[in-house]
Amino acid sequence: MRQWIKIERIPGVLATAYEKGTRMVIDSYYSHVAEEIVAHLQGDTILDIGTGPGYLPIEIAKRSSNVRIIGVDLSRKLLDMARSNAARAGLSDRLTFQLGNAGRIEFDDSAFDMVISTGMLHAIKDPVKVIQEMYRVLKAGGEAWIFDPARVSAAVDRKKWKASLNLREKFFLRLFQLSGLHKPIKTYTREEAIALIEKTDFKDYRIDARDNEIRIKLKRA
């Protein structure tokens, strides 16, 4: 059986390289996801798990003047970038970014109208625990949307991305690849996703698997 190594946090030395890639797909990916979220949002509080440099919360906030979003991530460097990006967009008053573990979300029960996560499920060591935490912090009737592995990497122009990297970024990226920690992304099938969900308290869910991406939408009763 093939073993998949889970890297739950983007290493600090690779954070800038990662940010450059995600910045390239703001218009082609994050803006479209943001529009979909705003169109379905019931309420004004959102938790973004694995927020990275904060581009999805920023795009959501641009489209909804009432929304308040907290983004959590395990990378301090990416969180610093997210705060700077929000400040440049003039959205620091409605966007908060803080260190947080998806398996131990430090918020009260029923605190959010919506929980979102893009491109993180494949990297989680205990996805059942994380999905259950999403359930806990959701208000009744709230939804958790999990898009994974999020078609961010597929939308990146890899030639332009590699050309944008400086020597330090290229060195550490190559070192990471040679270390053996860089493995193919584990893409969950519909059946595997259902098996995870059925171990949690979520009973109402929809799954759309296509184009090497699985989109899971869960609703708390």
Q: Residue-wise pLDDT tens for the chain (221 aa)? A: 333 334 455 766 678 887 888 888 899 899 999 999 999 999 999 999 999 999 999 999 999 999 999 999 999 999 999 999 999 999 999 999 999 999 999 999 999 999 999 988 888 889 999 999 999 999 999 999 999 975 566 666 778 877 878 777 776 667 656 555 445 556 788 999 999 999 999 999 999 988 778 999 999 99
Residue ranges per structural domain of the chain: 12-219
In the chain, the largest separation of any two C-alpha atoms, in whole Å, equals 51
- 139 backbone dihedrals φ, ψ, rounded to 5°: -75, 160
Q: For 107-137, b where at least 16 C-beta lie within 10 A, e where not — what string?
A: eeeebbbbbbbbbbbbbbeebeebbbbbbbb
DSSP per position, 7-45 = --S--GGGHHHHHHHHHTTIIIIIHHHHHHHHHH--SSE
Nearest-angstrom CA–CA distance, 10 and 119? 12
Select from 3.40.190.10, 3.40.30.10, 3.40.50.150, 3.40.50.720 the CATH code of 12-219: 3.40.50.150
Q: For 195-214, b where at least 16 C-beta lie within 10 A, e where not — what string?
A: ebbeebebeebebebeeebb
Nearest-angstrom CA–CA distance, 132 and 188? 17
Residue among 30, 183, 31 at smallest CA distance from 119? 30
Q: What is the pTM of this model?
A: 0.85
Contacts of 2 (CB under 8 A, 6+ apart): none
